[in-house]
Amino acid sequence: MKRLYISMIVAVLGAFFVINWGLDKLVAQQGNEHENTELVIYQKLIDGFEQQLSNVTSEELSEKVVLLAQDFQVRVSLENSKNIALPQSLLAQLSQKGGLLLASDEDAYLLRKVTLHPEVLVHLQLPLMPIENAQENLFLTLLLYLGICGILLLWLLPLTRRLYLLTYSAAKIGAGDLSIRVPHNRWSYINTLESSFNHMATRIEKLVEDNKILARSISHDIRTPMSCLRFGVEAALDCDDLTKKNSYLSRMESELTRMEEMTTAFLEYAGMERQGFHLKTELINVNHLIELVANDCQSLAEQYNIKLSCQLSTEKSHYTLDFHWCYRATLNLVSNAIQHAETQVTLSVRKINQALSIEVEDDGKGIPQDKRDVIFSPFIKLDSTRSREQGHFGLGLAISAKVMAWHQGSIKADASNDLSGARFSLLFPAQSHSDNSNT
């Protein structure tokens, strides 16, 4: 944070110094031009005085000088040339136009020799610019820079506080506290960065939690087939009957097949997080999508003696999404509903404004209200009759929920109003027409 403060202050003050230096140069140049203009005026004035004094006699010089001083409101007087000690190079300038300029820190004047009275010099006093108070200027300059620093510090204080919270949260996540988040502040300068950080932290927490669940599930479920395999190997080795040995080997092959299916399903779910970064979104016809799902599930519905019906949207149902994964999410819901229904399953699509809802309803027993959230976690099965030996691993709804999260949507389970069983809804967020046209 110190480096941020120092770099910001140095940058602003450095820029201010450069601008101030440039302005000083500009003002100084304009001041010199103004001073040169004033000097030319006084030089012409002393030339005029010289001409006026050349037209009078020596006795009238003093009286004429007084009149000129009164008329032009200047300080003009006469000097004897013998009282002025000047180098020979400057003496020649006394007779030139404009006269000779002599100046010091406290005084400035012009001298001009009167042509018809060579022993007389016209002395024209020049006004001096008022000397500014150097100490006061220094104090005001320091006050200006201190004020700029104070304003910068006030501006940087909330920014550095938010950056500190961001750094602190990152350190806590690195230490294993995945629940930490940066609190929202509407006045923060880095709201977008904080939102991205919180979104990243949420995904990391979900990924780690899924991996923990996956590890626990594999470690628990792999023990049974491993025990069966060990028993089968020992029995086959001790058995002399070829028929029994083949039976043992057949059972071992079945266990290996189940282990392979279980491992494939678990690894597929574990690798899904990478798939979320490579979605192929395109504008598709949602009616066509659910028709395809219904046709693919028709054979399963016939196997369970279930009537599967499809209700299409009457509106123009084009939406931007990933066809493969949305098909997979819908297929999981339909196949799950068929296996839990009594006689009927309905698949429908609705559009509310620009939002999209795909709904799957059945006339089964439904889902208890206290279980409607937990069923979307991986490896959760409410029906104890659906064992993993039959290929049911509790990943279908979890995959659907993950697909909806990729599309910034949601999945919801509640009671069906029409069929009295369960209803699952895939809720996609609203999309503008410009989004659809750009896809």
pLDDT tops 60 at residue 27? no
pLDDT digits (tens, 9 = 90+) for 154-188: 777 888 888 889 999 999 888 888 889 998 888 78
pLDDT at 268: 73
d(CA 150, CA 148): 5
**What pTM does this model have?**
0.53
Positive or negative: CA dihedral 404, 409, 413, 419? negative
d(CA 405, CA 408): 5
pLDDT at 424: 92
Give the range among 12-16, 83-87, 155-159 with minimum mean pLDDT. Answer: 12-16
pLDDT tops 90 at residue 13? no
Query: What single letter denotes the amino acid at residue 82?
Result: K
| Residues whose CB is less than 8 angstroms from the CB of residue 257 and which lie 6 or more positions away in sequence, other chains included | none
pLDDT at 14: 73
More reliable by pLDDT, 46 or 129: 46
Confidence category of residue 333, pLDDT binned at 50, 70, 90: very high
The total of other beta-carbon atoms located within 10 Å of residue 188's CB is: 20
What is 277-438's CATH topology?
Heat Shock Protein 90 (3.30.565)
- Mean of per-residue pLDDT scores for the chain: 80
Looking at 1.20.1440, 1.10.3470, 1.10.287, 1.10.150, the CATH number of the domain 134-221 comes to 1.10.287
pLDDT tops 50 at residue 382? yes
- Cβ atoms of 165 and 182 within 8 Å: the answer is yes
pLDDT digits (tens, 9 = 90+) for 281-306: 899 999 999 999 999 999 999 999 99
pLDDT at 327: 92
pLDDT digits (tens, 9 = 90+) for 112-159: 888 888 888 888 888 865 545 567 777 777 777 777 777 777 777 888
Average pLDDT estimate for 220-224? 68
- Range list of H helices, 130-241: 134-174, 191-221, 223-238
| pLDDT more than 70, % of the chain | 82
The total of other beta-carbon atoms located within 10 Å of residue 135's CB is: 8
Annotated domain spans of the chain: 2-125, 134-221, 277-438
pLDDT tops 80 at residue 100? yes
Give the range among 58-72, 215-229, 401-415 with minimum mean pLDDT. Answer: 215-229
The total of other beta-carbon atoms located within 10 Å of residue 53's CB is: 23
pLDDT tops 90 at residue 242? no
Phi/psi region, residue 69 (left: phi>0; alpha: psi -120 to 50; beta: rest), is alpha
Strands (E), 81-229: 100-103, 108-114, 117-125
pLDDT at 370: 81
Q: Which CATH class is domain 2-125?
A: alpha beta
- Tokens in use for 168? 């602190």
